[in-house]
Amino acid sequence: MKVVRNGEAHRASRTGVIRPSGRPSDLSSELPLDTILRGDCVAELSKLPARSVDMVFADPPYNLQLQGELKRPDDSRVDAVDDAWDKFESFQAYDAFTRAWLLAVRRVLKPTGTLWVIGSYHNIFRVGALLQDLDFWILNDIVWRKTNPMPNFRGRRFTNAHETLIWAAREPGAKGYTFNYEALKAANEDVQMRSDWLFPICSGGERLKDEDGRKLHPTQKPEALLARVILSASKPGDVVLDPFLGSGTTAAVARRLGRHFVGIERDPTYADAAQARIDAVEPLPDLALALAPTAREAPRVAFNSLIERGLLAPGTLLTDAKARTRALVRADGTLSLETAPGLGQIGSIHRAGALAQGLDACNGWTYWHVETREGLKPIDTLRAVMRSEMAMAAE
Which residues are CB-contacts of 133 (< 8 A; sequence separation ≥ 6)? 99
| Cα–Cα distance for residue pair 208/170, rounded to 1 Å | 33
**Domain presence at residue 93:** yes
Supply the mean pLDDT for the chain: 86
In degrees, to the nearest 5, what angle opens at C-alpha 118 toward C-alphas 114 and 122? Answer: 140
* Co-location of 255 and 152 in the same domain: yes
Q: Please indicate, yes or no, if residue 29 is contained in any of the structural domains.
A: no
pLDDT at residue number 20: 46
Specify the pLDDT at position 212: 82
Residue 134 lies in a domain: yes
Instruction: Give the model confidence (pLDDT) of 167-208 as tens digits.
Output: 999 999 899 999 999 889 888 888 899 999 999 998 888 888
CATH number for the domain harbouring residue 154: 3.40.50.150
Instruction: Decide: residue 154, CB within 10 A, 0-12 exposed, 13-18 middle, 19+ buried.
Output: exposed
Residue 349 lies in a domain: yes
pLDDT at 294 over 90: no
Whether 254 and 312 map to the same domain: the answer is: no
**In the chain, how many domains are there?**
2
The reported pLDDT for the residue numbered 51 is 96
212 and 271 co-located in one domain:
yes
328-365 tens-digit pLDDT: 999 999 999 998 777 889 999 999 999 999 999 999 99
Pick the last residue of a domain from 255, 288, 321.
288
Residues 283 and 320 in one domain: no
* pLDDT at residue 39, as a whole number: 96
Q: How many residues does the chain have?
A: 395
pLDDT reported for residue 55: 98
Say if residue 60 is in the same domain as residue 160. Answer: yes
Q: Are residues 358 and 255 in the same domain?
A: no
The lowest-confidence range among 17-31, 83-97, 144-158 is 17-31
Task: Give residue 293's pLDDT.
Answer: 66
Cα–Cα distances in angstroms (integers) from residue 289 to residues 40, 151, 234, 258, 294, in the given order: 33, 38, 11, 7, 15
Give the domain-ending residue among 235, 255, 288.
Answer: 288
Contacts 24+ apart (CB under 8 A), 367-376: 367/320, 367/321, 368/318, 368/319, 368/320, 368/327, 368/335, 369/318, 369/319, 369/320, 369/321, 369/323, 370/312, 370/316, 370/318, 371/317, 371/319, 376/319, 376/321, 376/323
pLDDT given for residue 394 in this prediction: 65
Whether pLDDT at 80 is above 80: no
Q: What is the pLDDT of residues 309-337, one digit of tens each?
A: 999 999 999 999 999 999 999 999 999 99
pLDDT for residue 218 is more than 50? yes
CA-wise closest residue to 384 among 317, 332, 309: 309
Whole-number pLDDT of residue 14:
33
Whether 59 is in a domain gets the answer yes
Question: Is 368 among the domain residues?
Answer: yes
Please check whether residues 272 and 348 belong to one and the same domain: no
Upstream peptide bond of 341 is cis (omega within 30 degrees of 0): yes
Which pLDDT score is estimated for 219? 84
pLDDT value for 10: 36
End-of-domain residue from the set 232, 264, 288: 288
Averaged over 52-75, what is the pLDDT? Answer: 73
Tell me: do 94 and 127 sit in the same domain: yes
pLDDT at residue 298 greater than cutoff 50: yes
Q: Is residue 167 part of a domain?
A: yes
For residues 218 and 280, state if they share a domain. yes
If phi over 0 gives left and psi between -120 and 50 gives alpha, with beta otherwise, what is residue 22? left
Contact in structure between 368 and 379 (CB atoms under 8 Å) = yes
Residues 207 and 232 in one domain: yes
> Is residue 201 domain-shared with residue 310, that is, in the same domain?
no
Tell whether 350 and 318 lie within a shared domain: yes
Give the range of the structural domain holding residue 260, as residue numbers without chain letter. Answer: 35-66+78-288
> For residue 190, what pLDDT is reported?
81
Give yes or no for a contact between 61 and 41, defined as CB atoms under 8 angstroms apart: no
Does the pTM exceed 0.75? no
Residue 11 lies in a domain: no
